[in-house]
Structure 1
Amino acid sequence: MSRLDLSTRDEQLRELMDDPDCDPQRLQATLRRFGLVNRLISGWDLIYRRRLRSLLTSFDRPARVLDLGSGGGDVLTRLAQLAAADGITVEWTGADPDPRAHESALRRAQPGITFRCADAEELISGGESFDLVLSNHVLHHLDADELRQFTAASQQLSSGTVLHADIARGRLAYGLYAVAITPVAPGTFLRTDGLRSIRRSYQRAELAAALGPDWEVSSPAPFRLLAQGPGRG
């Protein structure tokens, strides 16, 4: 058996949950379980403490935050929990154009958190503007043109800062995830799609080159990338 080559992105791979005809029960189970998986691996608790908290408290009013491509809404609700624990009032909005993800996210809606079935262009057309725009695990899904369009749209929607978090491709990340995800993967797409995501993901220098000089790409936690850029809204 040949050794898996992770030296370059495998842009030809497609995640099973991106198939509009995928098993709806497995999809919903995957979206629900993302709450646990992202809590363990996405690094947003650390990003909140090191970057987000100071941004959210820099306004003389509740900050308006958009999670673009919010999926099942678990990252947004986790950030809302962290802010609430610090006594910070925020207007949280999650937007995802996939009605299946939107259906799952609506189960997490609560006062101060709104979910919309919309993409970036719809929000721009509607004249929406936010103080902060973020995303989690979106960038690796995109080809080069889609990446430019998505990040430009995120900047247009933000009058302040944009943060895009994603996976850093690497052999150790691949091997550890393959083992660690197995106990919680049955009945979901978590194992197959997670490993495909790693193979599609960027390394730090690759993402920096793809995004250009406006963006700072850092590694806030092991196997994680964070791209921070200026809003233009």
Structure 2
Amino acid sequence: MLDFRTRNTLLRELMDDPDCDPVRLQRTYRQFGTVNRLVASWKRIITRELLLRVAERNGGNRSLTLLDIGCGLLDNAVTVREHAARLGFSLHITGIDPNPVAASMVLARPLPVDAAFEQCYLHDLALQGKHFDLVISNHLMHHLSDEENLALFNDIETVTRGAALMNDLRRSPVSWAAYGLATLPVRWYSFLSIDGMRSIRRSYTPEELMHLTQRCGTAAGTWQVIPVWPFRQVVRYEPHTV
């Protein structure tokens, strides 16, 4: 019987192995776009009210900068930009990803309009003094340890002008079983099925994330953990208004 009471951080996702099969890894990145459109729930997470608060911190300007951390092939950033455009906001995209396979796939084709990509870590941008109005990530936190996430949150506080949204899975035996069944047909084609099931077991509960964000303090801004139906959650950060 599997134990879902705590994170299983001993499980390592196949795609995180530098020596993993590059063909299966490329297939996985290509499949992410479809999966994320189905489950990421960005339309419910990024509301008009949130974007108005972000714009207010940008002097009322609705032309905003968007940073996607661990962007893969930029599919989440493009989805968020399209959604924001329907709400009356314009987003200039910057995507960052340290993975060389992701970087080569992104740069092998024309970038989306008004988008840039860098192969780097968020900490690199923080050290450079870069700032962005809206910062997002998808399925990043569960890859990291508690201490690595705290370092990530610290860098988010440094680079975020308006709001940051860390979108991720919520650990649950029901989601684990349902995902495994749904992805069974592609189990050996890519890492999507095996890694997804491992991701769920590595992911946090809302209570665990609330405890973790409390370690950030409140000097720079407000951290919140928001459950998203049915099996997702978002860590949201908004800096204090100066």
Please report the TM-score for the alignment, with normalisation by the length of structure 1. 0.91
Deviation at 1:47, TM superposition (A): 1.2
- 1:208 aligned residue: 210
Aligned: 1:9 with 2:11: no
Q: What are the equivalent positions in structure 2 for 1:1-233 lying under 5 Å apart?
A: 3-49=1-47, 52-55=50-53, 58=56, 59-106=60-107, 107=109, 109-212=111-214, 214-231=222-239
> What do you get for the CA RMSD once the two structures are aligned?
2.1
Q: What residue ranges of structure 1 are gaps of 5+ in the alignment?
A: none
Moved more, 75-84 or 150-159: 75-84
The alpha-carbon deviation at position 152 of structure 1 amounts to 0.7
- 1:82 Cα shift? 2.0
Give the AA of the match of 1:68.
Answer: I
CA distance in 2, matches of 1:21, 1:52: 41
Aligned residue-pair number: 231
Q: Give the TM-score normalised by the residue count of structure 2.
A: 0.88
Other structure's SS at 2:228 match? coil
**For residues 105 and 44 of structure 1, do their structure 2 counterparts lie closer, same or farther at Cα, with a shift above 3 Å needed?**
farther
Is the contact between residue 7 and residue 204 of structure 2 (CA under 8 Å) also seen in structure 1? yes
Residue by residue, what CA displacement relative to the aligned partner does 1:9-35 show, whole Å, maximum 9, x if unpaired? Answer: 001111000111111110010001000
Q: Cα–Cα, structure 1 residues 108 and 189, in superposed 2: closer, same or farther, change >3 Å? A: farther
Q: C-alpha distance in 1, partners of 2:6/2:104?
A: 35
C-alpha displacement of 1:87: 4.6
Matched residue of 1:215: which SS? strand
Between 60-69 and 12-21, the greater mean CA deviation after superposition:
60-69
CA apart distance, 1:104: 2.5
Q: Distance in 2 between matches of 1:50 and 1:11?
A: 36
Q: Which runs of 5+ in 2 are unaligned?
A: none
Q: Percent identity?
A: 38
